[in-house]
Amino acid sequence: MKSKDQKKKTGERPLKTLDRVLSKAGLGSRTQARSWIGSGRVKVNGRVIQNPDHWVDLERDYVYLDDRPVRRQKKIYLLLYKPKGYLTTFKDPEGRPTVYDLIRDVDQWVFPVGRLDLNTSGLLILTNDTQLAEYLTNPEHNVPKTYLVKSATRLNDEQLDQLRRGVNLSDGPTRPAIVTRLRDSANKTFFEITITEGRNRQVRRMVEAVGSTVSKLVRTSIGNLRIGDLQIGSYRVLTRQEVAALRAGQFTNLTTNLFTNRLTTKN
């Protein structure tokens, strides 16, 4: 059987499943698309199709959502400074604010690349480019993500070294990280950590694994992107150069350093 992601070719014309056509057009997620299809809102060549796995010939078939033609949308890339207290999901059953409340004036559908916890603030990329999102979130590509951390207790050098070397979490050991102590107060440590994975609550769990907890967490960078002087709660569109650099993986040097110099960036 063909995988859904596979571009099927018959007579060398590309075919895609109906749910993919809708999500690739930037109208919504695959889950949303499947629900629209299931509820009879989607027509192909004038006929309602309720099977999301229906094959569509991109060159010949006409697809409509609510009787409006579906066209491929331009790619869009946003950099948002997510505040604490906002979810990265589309809708919250409890009615809490989500990052979509901060991009109300964006008329294209975008989704967050990876997640930030409710209580984590900082840099979040939102896009409709599924390929780039897959690239950036795949741990095999070693995309560096940097966080500013305030720990709830003062961390000693050995604790920071453990974070650098990697700690054991319930889902396996973490990779080496770059850790730089920024300053200490009487009973807190402020440090920066760069990791190349993006597991659920990873930084918080790493800090817990060395015997403390996180009291503040801000993501300041992803790949070559920095939060810069973006105001909290606001977003900007990425430049072509920034998108090209992300696509080209132009953070490889930083990542290489991560593995070769990991124990030299002390305190």
Known catalytic residues are: 117
Q: Which stretch binds ligand URA (CB under 6 A): 23-31, 76-84, 202-210, 230-238?
A: 202-210
Pick the piece of the chain touching ligand URA (CB under 6 A) from 75-83, 113-121, 124-132, 159-167.
113-121
Other CB atoms within a 10 A radius of the CB of residue 260 amount to 10
Q: How many CB atoms lie within 10 A of CB 247?
A: 14
In the complex, minimum distance from the CB of residue 145 to ligand URA, in angstroms, rounded to a whole number = 7
Q: In which element (H, E) is residue 163 found?
A: helix 157-165
Burial of 123: CB neighbours in 10 Å, binned 0-12, 13-18, 19+ = buried
- In degrees, rounded to 5, the angle at the alpha carbon of residue 183 between the alpha carbons of residues 180 and 187 is 115
> CB of residue 203 vs ligand URA: minimum separation in angstroms?
4
The length of the chain is: 267
Which pair of structure tokens corresponds to residue 40?
A: 């009879």
Q: Is 178 in the site for ligand URA (CB under 6 A)?
A: no
Residue 15 main-chain phi, psi, to 5 deg: -120, 145
| 181 vs 216 by CB, closer to ligand URA | 216
Which residue among 202, 212, 221, 255 contacts ligand URA (CB under 6 A)?
Answer: 202
173 phi/psi in degrees, rounded to 5: -70, 150
For position 196 contacting ligand URA by CB under 6 A, the verdict is no
Instruction: Report if residue 174 touches ligand URA, rule: CB under 6 A.
Output: no
Q: Report the residue from 57, 61, 117, 197 that binds ligand URA according to the rule CB under 6 A.
A: 117
For the segment 213-242, give every residue that binds ligand URA (CB under 6 A).
217
Least distance from C-beta 222 to ligand URA, angstroms? 11
Name the minimum Å distance from CB 200 to ligand URA. 8
Candidate residues 8, 165, 181, 204; the one interacting with ligand URA per rule CB under 6 A: 204
Work out whether 201 is an interface residue with ligand URA (CB under 6 A): yes
- Residue whose C-alpha is closest to residue 89's, from 101, 80, 76: 101
Contact 121, 163 (CB under 8 A): no
- Contact 81/227 with Cβ under 8 angstroms? yes
Nearer to ligand URA, 213 or 234 (CB): 213
Which residues lie near ligand URA (CB under 6 A)? 116-117, 120, 201-204, 217
